[in-house]
Amino acid sequence: MGKSAIKVLIVEDDNLIAKRYQMILAKDPELEFVGRAASGYEGTMLAALYKPDVILMDIELEDKQAGLRASSEILSYMPEIKIVMLTVNDTDDTVFRAFELGVTNYLLKNMPAEAIIDAIKDAYYDMPSLHSNIAGKITREFKRIKTTEDSLLHNFHILTKLTPTELEVLDLLMKDYSRQEICKARHVEPSTLKSQINSILKKFNKNSVQEVIPVLRELHIPQILSQRQGSLPFGSNTEED
């Protein structure tokens, strides 16, 4: 008995592109086209009905994240299915998100027919090989996440070294209080506040508040600080402003 063909489902909302994929599949006797869906919802339903070996999944279907949602749904119930993303959207975070969900491979729509066929077969045989530009994007995203994690841990370590007073001052600075407003609200002299801010900057090893605040905001430190036991002073005033 001959070897069974690899069953492939196409999920693509563009008729011309879907037809191209279908023609590519037809040229290889090892591949079998089993159906085509035009939306993420339809793709999920057909995956359950046809149980394909490999799905060619567009990311931007009824909306920009539909393909990712459909992939997540399919893989949660049918993890044995291999999904190959084909899209024009090759931003680093989208590529990384796709692989994070469990997608097997990711190709751009303008890839030649041979690359698409190879991607399908590699996925089926658990030998996915990433195109160099996609591999580079994943590497950059891993590096970005690692950098963010390192920065988060570094700044959390510094926060543990701040005194309660310094934490209060830092919280107000992140809420865009001016130095004059902080002095008035905390009933301190400008010289006292200056000394407290200098102490904060020294612990962060920065020269100005403008160097510290954007980094902490990017890491969502203000939200994290607001959840710590005992609300920071003047929080209600800030919400009213």
Look at 101-105, 168-172, 200-204 and tell me which has the smallest mean pLDDT.
Answer: 101-105
pTM of the model: 0.54
pLDDT at residue 90 above 60? Answer: no
Report all structural domains of the chain as residue ranges with CATH numbers, in order of start: 6-139 (3.40.50.2300), 162-234 (1.10.10.10)
Whole-number Å distance between alpha carbons of 229 and 224 = 11
pLDDT at residue 23 above 80? Answer: yes
DSSP assignment of 137-175, as one string?
HHHHHHHHHHHHHHHHHHHHHHHHHS-HHHHHHHHHHHT
Q: What is the predicted pLDDT for the residue at 231?
A: 43
> Which residues are registered as beta bridge partners of 35?
9
Mean pLDDT of 170-174: 87
pLDDT at residue 54 above 80? Answer: yes
Q: What is the predicted pLDDT for the residue at 117?
A: 92
CA distances (Å), origin 112, targets 24, 107, 115, 117, 130: 10, 10, 5, 9, 14
Look at 63-77, 142-156, 206-220 and tell me which has the smallest mean pLDDT.
Answer: 142-156
Classified as helix, coil or strand, 84 is strand
> In the predicted model, what is the mean pLDDT of the chain?
79
